Amino acid sequence: MPSRRAALLALLAPLLLAAQPTPNPTATAAAAPSGVGREVLLLTIDGVINPATADFIADGIAAAQARAAAAVVIELDTPGGLLESTKIIVKDLLGAPLPVIVYVAPSGAGAASAGVFVTMAAHIAAMAPGTTIGAAHPVGGQGEDIGGTLGEKVENFTAALSRSIAEQRGRNVDWAEKAVRKSVSVTEREAVKLKIIDFVADSVPDVLVQASGRSVDVNGVSTALALSGATVLPFEMRVSQRLLNFLAHPNIAYLLMLAGMLGLYVELTSPGVIFPGVAGVIALVLALAAMQLMPVNWAGVALIGLGAAMLVAEMFLPTFGVVGVGGLVAFVLGSLLLFDTPEAALQVDRGLIAGAAVTVGAFAIVVAWLVVRAQRARSTVGAEGMLGEIGEVRRAGEPGGRTKVFVHGEYWDAVSDDAVATGDAIEVLAVDGLRLRVRRHRTKEGA
């Protein structure tokens, strides 16, 4: 019996398997709601888009995938950032293995320049009331339009990138190009009407509620969102990412460089103080680390160094301010050219440059004045320092003879052409070896 049953099952097995429907992975995935994990990771971006930001978003997506989270929400408020970092973020969002929602918030926030690309690359794009999006036109290092062939190339590339993202996410392609070519900006209500974003939401929970029921394309698979009531878990930057994000700001890098130069100057002019030198080296290393995250124009760095050297030289060379003025001009030009990027948000603040220039100029003037005064002042050491000193006769001698005087805390042999008595005040006229030539001190003209 067992052998017959086994033989019967062996004969019927192919028929039973053929009768069963072949599973469709795509259909199964499409039917599965995205809210299975019931967890949503929340990433907050508040500031310039830089390599630390791109690394943070990549980590957040990876962590959400590892936790089988339902989605990732990026709360965004940015004035723009580096194009290279933006391209990395866009690539991560377009290829994300789970739904990604970009929420421009809080009220008063904006997704400008690079933020436009990040927002449009999300599966779901939302904005809070009172927010704006747009102004993605590339500009020069000083905020000016880029002219000539270079400007045309940069604009065409950026416009093509914007159109490509809009087409892939089904957003308004024409507006995406206008945001680059004409630098247009719109409010959250206008963005919904123009189909730039999907909806306006008051908060992250409201975003999840409004996103629920929508279907998004996740790597070619239609995924239904069921996020209403999901647990929102904040995802924080690592300590190293926070440090890099803090350093990757042009104003911070600029101030660190100035602090490093000042610390080294103090250490070189006052050897043995130690602390300014140590602090200066640390500041310079941090400044160099920050500059590795941003497109630095090394000609600007060279001009700043040249300006600092010329300002120091002015303190010791009799150039009547010519070298100092040249150093100040080089310092300001170097500061303006320090970062080579079409993003105005990644330029050193003009007010900071002006303040630094005034401070450095005033410092150079004060130090030069002190040096000149010290050079013109009467010496207080050696034989020259004795001239004009006032002393007291301790033992009087004959006129032209030897007299014992007390001057500058010491006893001296002295010769006086005047008749002096013990206790009289005398003034030193000359120093001849270990003997002084003195006269009676005249407190009043003719006395």
pTM: 0.66
Does residue 64 sit in the same domain as residue 111? Answer: yes
**Residue for token digits 């001296």?**
412
User: Do 88 and 164 lie in a common domain?
Assistant: yes
121 lies in a domain? yes
Query: How far is residue 236's CA from residue 138's CA, in Å, rounded to a whole number?
Result: 31
How far is the C-alpha of 247 from the C-alpha of 42, rounded, in Å? 23
Identify whether 190 is part of a domain.
yes
Q: Which helix (H) or strand (E) holds 74?
A: strand 71-77
Strands, E assignment, 348-400: 390-395
Residue 127 sits in the same domain as residue 37: yes
Do residues 98 and 216 share a domain?
Answer: yes
Looking at the fold, whether 220 and 263 belong to one and the same domain comes out as no
Domain boundary among 294, 327, 362: 294
**Does residue 259 share a domain with residue 211?**
no
Of 339, 359, 377, the residue at which a domain comes to its end is 377
Whether 289 and 299 map to the same domain: the answer is no
Task: Report in angstroms the alpha-carbon separations of 6 from 2, 17, 119, 256.
Answer: 6, 16, 62, 81
Whether 353 is in a domain gets the answer yes
pLDDT at residue 414 in the model: 87
Last residue of some domain: 356, 377, 398? 377
**3-class secondary-structure state, position 437:** strand
Residue 248: the pLDDT is: 81
Q: For residues 28 and 187, what is the distance between their CA atoms, to the nearest angstrom?
A: 39
Give me the domain span that covers residue 401: 383-440
Specify the pLDDT at position 381. 54
Same domain, 229 and 287: no
Within a domain: 1: no
Domain count, the chain: 4
Q: Are residues 321 and 389 in the same domain?
A: no
- Residue 127 is part of a domain; what is its CATH number? 3.90.226.10
* pLDDT in 10s for each residue of the chain, 447 residues: 444 444 433 443 443 333 333 333 333 333 344 444 489 999 999 988 989 999 999 999 999 999 999 999 999 999 888 888 999 999 999 999 999 999 999 999 999 989 999 999 999 999 999 999 998 765 444 444 444 455 567 778 888 999 999 999 999 999 999 998 888 999 999 999 999 999 999 999 999 999 999 999 999 999 999 999 999 999 999 998 888 888 888 888 888 888 888 888 777 767 777 888 899 899 988 888 887 777 778 788 888 888 888 877 776 676 666 777 888 888 888 888 887 655 555 577 788 888 888 887 787 777 667 666 666 655 555 566 677 788 888 888 766 667 888 987 788 888 887 788 888 888 888 888 778 888 888 764 444
Convert 202-221 to b/e letters by CB count within 10 Å (16 or more is b).
eebebbbebbbebebebeee
Question: How far apart are the two ends of the chain, measured CA to CA in Å?
Answer: 149
Asked whether residue 52 falls in the same domain as residue 157, the answer is: yes
Indicate if 303 and 436 belong to the same structural domain: no
Residue 98: CB partners within 8 Å, gap ≥ 6? 34, 61, 64, 65, 69, 70, 71, 72, 218
Q: Is residue 410 part of a domain?
A: yes
